[in-house]
Amino acid sequence: MVVFPNCKINLGLNVIRKREDGYHDIETVFYPIKLLDVLEVVESNDSNTSIKFTGTGLTVEGNEEDNLCLKAYQLLKTALPQLPAVQIQLHKTIPMGAGLGGGSSDGSFTLTLLNDKFELGLSTAQLLDHAAALGSDGPFFIINKPCFATGRGEVLEEINIDLSCYTIVLVNPGIHIPTRWAFTQINPALPGKQIKDIISQPITKWKDELKNDFEEPVFEKYPEIKKIKEDLYNHGALYAAMSGSGSTVFGVFEKTTPAPLFQDTNYFVKVL
């Protein structure tokens, strides 16, 4: 069985408070984007191991055992020991550590795929709980529709927003922003206006009101990322922002193909 995990962008992101458990309460809007990985799971006949993993495409840094596809399988195997042994093949096209949630998407799609393939009978609520154990934005990829997110990002409210009439340009300069560092640079505060209220306005008003709290410290340390946002506006973006804690920046354009951007760089650029 093959599925295609997608990524997300953040429409605004406010860091509201630091919690006693060490996490932060945030508010943001997660919006799904059709930049896709490819994930395949087949049942294995190898009695020596419960799971085999193969990765292709973009190189995933770190230890293989930290891969969220493997962690998703182990979560379900612990809860449901009858889960068969499998082979997992993941082809990566979504940049890692880029504020796009690609790893969380792969993990959550693994949960859903295993549930469907082996008819495990897990409810959406159970899948959401497992996805939350993988990461704060994991539950979003179970729902995979535009959502206003609060708490750590796992408290989700579906909202009515549709950007399909626009062109979205993703630009990633290949700079890895450590999420933990990014949070240490923020002074949490309640926003004057909720993000879901801001995005209910015409997109032409977002530029002045829809903010990502991570932009200020990230732009100060990495001016190259700030310049990407400026260049997107200079080329006609109606709205541009960094996604998550970076380093991907996206621009929302009228439904036309923008002039070629960043051709003299080695940036990852995707027009959707």
Residues marked active site are found at 8, 137
Separation CA 5–CA 67 (nearest Å): 14
Kindly report the backbone phi and psi dihedral angles of residue 217, in degrees, each rounded to the nearest multiple of 5, phi listed first: -70, -35
Structure-block tokens of residue 257: 């193909």
Kindly report the backbone phi and psi dihedral angles of residue 271, in degrees, each rounded to the nearest multiple of 5, phi listed first: -105, 125
Name, in order, each residue with C-beta under 8 angstroms of 194's C-beta and a sequence gap of 6 or more: 27
- Measuring CA to CA, which residue among 161, 155, 151, 122 is closest to residue 140? 155
Beta strands in the chain (DSSP E): 2-3, 6-18, 24-36, 38-43, 51-57, 86-92, 147-150, 155-158, 166-172, 239-242, 249-254, 268-271
Please check whether residue 145 is in contact with residue 214, taking contact to mean a CB–CB distance below 8 angstroms.
no
Residue 5 DSSP one-character state: -
Separation CA 104–CA 13 (nearest Å): 18
Separation CA 105–CA 21 (nearest Å): 24
Structure-block tokens of residue 116: 């469907």
Sign of CA dihedral 230, 234, 240, 246: negative
